[in-house]
Structure 1
Amino acid sequence: MTKIPQKILVEFENNFFEYDEEQIIRFSKNNGNIFAVVNDMCKEVYGLYILDENDPTFICHIFYITKVNQNLKGFGLQISPTQERRNQFVSIFSAYIAKNFQDGSKRQVETVFNTFQNMQILTFEQNGYDIIPELPNKKASIAIKYNGKGIVHIPRITNEIITNNKFEKEFSTVQIPKIDEHFVYLMLNRRNGYFKIGKSKNSRTLKIREKTLQSEEPDMIIVGLWIVKENYEKILHMEFKDKRLRGEWFNLDETDLDFLHNKMKKFACI
């Protein structure tokens, strides 16, 4: 493992902070996800909030809150779009969370990192920043003025489950559901790495790569499709309730996708 230079660690520690239980309980009154952790409805929550939308520096806090032996634990990191080592700080923060409150594996560190990066992408884009996953060259700035407030470099770690064809395949046709059956599908938004678990009664032959919401989201693609009788959409929603973002959208990691792949294998309609 590469040793982090002391100078960077000092800078990181200047932006790292811990919440006490009183602060967490106060936050839970205005945040349903934190409320769920406080009241034992889920084990952890990741989040991001903006300190002042009118502040040109656009300072934000990303945070992680959980419960250990009935004691609330919360940690945060102050970041901003123009922060020089923001991505590196988020990486260190993610490793701290994964190693102290999860299994500490490389996979888990990557999952936590991508979670925080996806939150930044959504928040910064909604507030007028342009996001790029790669810098055009080594000398490029992470906050070059463009059409909006600036260009922000936010890389993510590629999800190997999707690139190794466990789900994504060259489908051209699928079986047609019977009258008492329907489709359950897994859709990936390649822009932010989030997954939608939905259902459809549409009995027409589906072309997986073409059946996307391209008019609204060009980076949407169906990566899993099954034919079922039971209401498996709701079953899967309950299975991944701790990973729910909103509605039918979930922040699934590699372990979740392995589980889903094995659970739904018997319903494959390819």
Structure 2
Amino acid sequence: MNEYQKYVDENTFLLNETSIRELLKNDNGHLNNVTIGIEKYGYGVLLLKDNKVNIDFSVFMMTGLGRIRGYSIKLNSSDEKWMRYLISFSIFIAKEYEDLDPVDTYNTLLSNCRALFEKLGFFTITNYDIQRFDRLNPLLLTSNPRGTILIYYEDKIEVYKSIFSHVVDTNKFENKIYLMHSESSNLIKIGRSKNPNTRERTLQGRDPKLNMITYWDAPLQIEKDLHNKFIHKRVRGEWFDLNFGDLNTIKEIMSEYTTS
């Protein structure tokens, strides 16, 4: 167990229906929609203590599936590792609720945190803001008395790609089995092609927000095997509603066709 998982274990709390009802007293929208079944999941952030130079706060998720319950974790804005803790918390939640994606969960919770920081007078800037001006070598100056907080969002495609670190052996089979993500639909395509990168560019003509995750040199039968494995998650054709855990399952299945 690493230090981030240890922190989550020690600082994550189960929210029962009574505590969630208390949280909902000042909410008239998103979170209440969860309790009446309009939305499956809700996310929020709660100020615990304003220390002027930093704040203690709690982020939480809740669901009305089966029964109203949720989880929360306590964080401090001055702790340089608080976003790493939030990532581990999001992974924990995604393991509890398999239809949740840890990257989406993390980014949603982070946006809630940013809204709280801004409301309390902190200046926030994201990694995407910095990337926009990276080539200009900018110098950030702010007179905000409460200080600046960097908000680092995770890129889903880069996280998905990081799951797979294999080297593709291109000499064994004529076709490649590939995984491709559509940002528009949030679905993943399990397909085959002699040249996956060319296939990616072809499909991008229809949907510009397509990105190759990875591919393998493997028998054509493997594509069919993967389709059958995740048939319960097929949305249409070769497109599947796969989550983080499913990708790790595919990684294990395809280990026979990878080189470290």
TM-score by length of 2: 0.50
Structure showing greater radius of gyration is 2
For residues 141 and 113 of structure 2, the distance between their equivalents in structure 1, rounded to whole angstroms, comes to 18
1:162–1:10: structure 2 CA closer, same or farther, 3 Å change rule? closer
Q: Is the 8 A contact 2:4 2:88 kept in 1?
A: no
Q: Pairwise CA RMSD of aligned residues?
A: 3.3
Q: Tell me the residue number matched to 1:129.
A: 123
Shift of 1:159: 5.3
1:117 match = 110
**Equivalent runs, 1:125-204 vs 2, <5 Å:** 125-126=118-119, 127-133=121-127, 147-148=143-144, 149-158=146-155, 160=157, 166-167=207-208
Match of 1:87 in 2: 83
- Letter aligned with residue 106 of structure 2: F
Q: Secondary structure at the residue paired with 1:25?
A: helix
Secondary structure of the structure 2 residue equivalent to 1:40 = coil
Change (3 A) 1:167 1:118: farther
Counterpart of 1:24 (choices 3, 14, 20) is 20
Mark the CA change 1:128 to 1:111 in structure 2 (over 3 Å): closer, same or farther: same
Gaps of 5+ in 2: 132-139, 158-181, 185-199, 210-240, 242-260
Q: Which of residues 46, 64, 86 is equivalent to 1:49?
A: 46
Q: Which runs of 5+ in 1 are unaligned?
A: 137-143, 169-254, 256-270
**Identical-residue share of aligned pairs (%):** 19
Aligned match of 1:101: 97
Give, in angstroms, the shift of residue 55 of structure 1.
Answer: 4.8
Which residue of structure 1 lines up, in the alignment, with residue 196 of structure 2? none
* SS across alignment from 1:157: coil
Letter in 2 for 1:96: F
Q: Structure 2 residue aligned with 1:73, among 69, 72, 78?
A: 69
Correspondence for 2:34 among 31, 37, 48 = 37
Q: Is the 8 A contact 1:125 1:131 kept in 2?
A: no
Deviations 1:78-131 (A, max 9, x none): 122211211111111111111211336xxx111111111222233323422332
Q: Higher helix share goes to which structure?
A: 2
Superposition map of 1:221-232 within 5 A = none
Q: Quick one: higher RCO (CA 8 Å, sep 6+), 1 or 2?
A: 2
Structure 2: distance between partners of 1:101 and 1:54: 34
